[in-house]
Amino acid sequence: MTTKNKELTTQTNNAEVATITPATDIYESKDAVALYVDLPGVSKESLDIDVDQDILTIKGTISLSTPDNMQATYIDVQANTFERRFTLGDELDVNKIEAKLDQGALELTIPKLEQHKPKKIAINVA
């Protein structure tokens, strides 16, 4: 699982509050990069996706309906915030990012800029 594209590496998370790094799958096709991020417990309203220059930040808060005065009996998920950053390559068109959230699974599609898509050149037979 080596990352060939240096520009798609994860930034170190310097947040002071404990956050969970969400499990992510990243695929690159001819004309886009697709990110699939697991954010269980995050609703559309508590999810923030933003791009600052070439840094894509995904941040979501887990909102569970927990009763008051409850006692934690067993805990695997210890924080209530997911956060992860990615550096985007300049071949990607950040103005055309599409996001879809379905039952805590986020799908982000980032198309490549037209000039970076592979082109097939027709060869004319003389």
Partner 1 sequence: MISNMLRFPFSMLDNEINSLFYPEQNQGSARSTYVYPPINISTTDTKVDVYLFIAGMNPDDIELVIEKNMLSVSGQRKLPEVDQNSTVFRQERFEGRFKRVITLPETVDTDTTQATYKDGVLHISIDKRAEVQPRQIKISAQ
11 near partner 1, rule: CB under 8 A: no
Query: Interacting stretch for partner 1, rule CB under 8 A, among 20-28, 48-56, 90-98, 112-120?
Result: 20-28
Site for partner 1 in 65-94 (CB under 8 A): 65-67, 69-77
Per-residue x/- marks for partner 1, 33-52, CB under 8 A?
A: -x-x-xxxxxx---------
Q: What DSSP character marks residue 19?
A: -
Query: Interacting stretch for partner 1, rule CB under 8 A, among 29-37, 49-57, 91-99, 115-123?
Result: 29-37
Q: How far apart are CA 118 and CA 4, in angstroms?
A: 18
Q: How far apart are CA 53 and CA 88, in angstroms?
A: 9
Query: Interacting stretch for partner 1, rule CB under 8 A, among 31-39, 51-59, 90-98, 110-118?
Result: 31-39
Q: How far apart are CA 28 and CA 30, in angstroms?
A: 7
Q: How far is the CB of 53 from partner 1 (least distance, A)?
A: 20
Identify any residues that bridge with 32 across adjacent strands, giving them in sequence order. 111
Residues 107 and 34: beta-carbon distance below 8 Å = yes
Q: How deeply is 26 buried, as exposed, middle or buried, from its count of CB atoms within 10 A (0-12, 13-18, 19+)? A: middle
Sites of contact with partner 1 (CB under 8 A): 1, 3-5, 8, 10, 20-30, 34, 36, 38-43, 62-67, 69-77, 102-105, 107
